[in-house]
Structure 1
């Protein structure tokens, strides 16, 4: 059997804060997930986002320490339109999350922005820009 990519895993320093952030982006976690040591949300295409508390990771890897120097990974969320990139960015920043990059029209043809989740992971927001008219 060939291994198949299936799960993106994040370690959350504050699970409730991470759940609130990712729920704002439309991910669905079970009711009462804030009290669990490990939670999962189904992603499009059959992938799963898994969140573990730091204590959970230390339960099987006692010497584990959080990385230093910034985020632990980057995730990207496709928005339907460039205006939605702006709206989602404004919603997250208005809710107190850190904006790494304000929305801008990237040279590769996308509206793009980056916000940090509660653990400093970069979360990209993007949507294709309209094709230039000839």
Structure 2
């Protein structure tokens, strides 16, 4: 089994696509008006309009109702990304901080309220743990 992607369901696809294009620096692929994908070297982030949920069956997902998942992006320099994105982000949950497990991390909310973590391993142990990963 291979992990393929994470999909966010939203009522405002264009707004969320524009936000993640700015965060990732990657243009979204739009194979349909109600669906977009960010194909990154290590993963794919998909965004679907809430209309797409009907294709999977009623009640399978609700837009902007996530309280358990954090979308994480490994970055080269957390502090530089924080500075770059600070004017674009409405809510910062945590300014750059070094976590007990050795990652430097900044936590924000996207326009739908989903938590997004920008992190970089910075301690020797964390760097070793991520060695060989994209």
**Fold match (TM-score > 0.5):** yes
**Partner residue of 1:48 out of 28, 44, 47:** 44
How far the C-alpha of 1:62 sits from its partner, in A, is 3.3
Q: Give unmatched runs, 5+ long, in structure 1.
A: none
**Partner residue of 1:16 out of 14, 17, 22:** 14
Task: Determine whether 1:4 maps to 2:5.
Answer: no
How far the C-alpha of 1:69 sits from its partner, in A, is 6.2
Displaced runs of 4+ in structure 1, greater than 3 A? 62-65, 67-72
Number of equivalent positions: 122
- Cα distance between partner residues in 2 of 1:57 and 1:9: 11
Instruction: Write the mapping of 1:1-134 to structure 2, written as runs, cut at 5 A.
Output: 3-24=1-22, 25-30=24-29, 33=30, 36-45=33-42, 47-64=43-60, 66=62, 70-71=66-67, 73-80=69-76, 84-129=77-122
Structure whose CA Rg is larger = 1
What is the TM-score normalised by the length of structure 1?
Answer: 0.74
What is the TM-score normalised by the length of structure 2?
Answer: 0.74
- Cα distance between partner residues in 2 of 1:91 and 1:16: 21
Aligned-residue Cα RMSD (Å) equals 2.5
1:1-48 Cα offsets, whole Å, 9 max, x none, are: xx3221211112211121122111223213xx4x81011121214x32
- Cα distance between partner residues in 2 of 1:114 and 1:42: 22
